[in-house]
Amino acid sequence: MMQVGDYCRPASVTEAAELCARDGAVPFAGGTDLMVKARGHSRFQDKTFVDLGGMPELSFLREEDEMISVGAAVTLTQLLCSPIITEGVPLLRQAASRVANRQVRNRATLVGNVANACPASDCIPALMVLGASVLVTGAEGEREIPLEALFRSCEACLRHEGMQVRTCFYPETAARKLTLRPGELITSVQIPKQDPEQRSVFEKLTENQSAGMAVLNFAMTGSLGADGTVAAFRVCPGGVFPKPRCFPEREIPLLGKRPDPALFQAVIQEISDSLASEKDTLADYAYKSRVLPKILRDGMAQLFLETPMLG
């Protein structure tokens, strides 16, 4: 049984923002994570749940020039059924299809997946390498935040044994794990469309099939120039850093070179060196530091050499 102080279903974003500006207000849309936290606990007994789910003003999914805008009330199932997503950002569709199970995806939202800020999220790595941002509304109006600037470091998240948890450790993620100002509300995710020449790969490893939480995952994008050398590359591993981290091409010795396994090893070494700094924080470091290079190597082979990922 959930113990909640109050429940509100605002009719507009303006009303929702006013409610969220009050102390003790907790916004949600799908509630797939929040309801697990609230069940059988008293941590929300003085809180007001602000339900954004189904709000017409936040139920949009549309193309805007070279961007795709996804409102806070759009579920992952709606996302997966949209040709705008299938054609415009196939990487995001691939990642969203791997979130938990159909029942969860019927309620969970993309904005909720972002706001929960879990290091093992499936959608966040895809959004990171695509260069996505979020629009937020608060007392000072609307502003846009690049996704890479939205998250705070949360080392406690990496202490969960193997990331095998059903929900985030913290009751409310906004204050602890996001850079939102008090009372701000995420209203949409803005995603640049993938270029037709842009290749992409998403993969995850999971042991807990009932929850589908990733032990490790990654998203990567890349493209080759007319001369067959690497023109662009970005990769974001999940479940290994205290906040989502993207490795863009400027940080990795890949550009202007022909892709081959030896070149991939240089990229893997760069990421492995960064991962080593989390040795004392990351649960299952020995396992993840051994497996991550292997799945990244397979991912780059699929991306640039069109070699299928090993099962």
Please compute the mean of the pLDDT values over residues 202-211 and round it to a whole number: 73
pLDDT at residue 210 greater than cutoff 50: no
Which residue spans of the chain are classified as CATH 3.30.465.10?
Answer: 60-192
- Predicted confidence at residue 107, as pLDDT, reads 95
- Predicted confidence at residue 41, as pLDDT, reads 66
Dihedral pair phi/psi, residue 136, rounded to 5°: -125, 150
- Predicted confidence at residue 209, as pLDDT, reads 53
Residues 6+ away with beta carbon under 8 Å from 290: none
Contact at 8 Å (CB) between 74 and 185? no
pLDDT at residue 161 greater than cutoff 80: no
Split at pLDDT 50, 70, 90, the class of 180 is very high
Question: What's the rounded Cα separation, in Å, for the pair 257 and 254?
Answer: 6
Contact at 8 Å (CB) between 101 and 208? no
Fold of 60-192: 3.30.465
Among residues of the chain, what percentage have pLDDT more than 70? 92
Please compute the mean of the pLDDT values over residues 185-194 and round it to a whole number: 97
The residue type of 138 is G
CATH number of 199-305: 3.30.390.50
Instruction: State the residue for tokens 């997966």.
Output: 80
* Whether the predicted model's global pTM rises above the 0.85 cut: yes
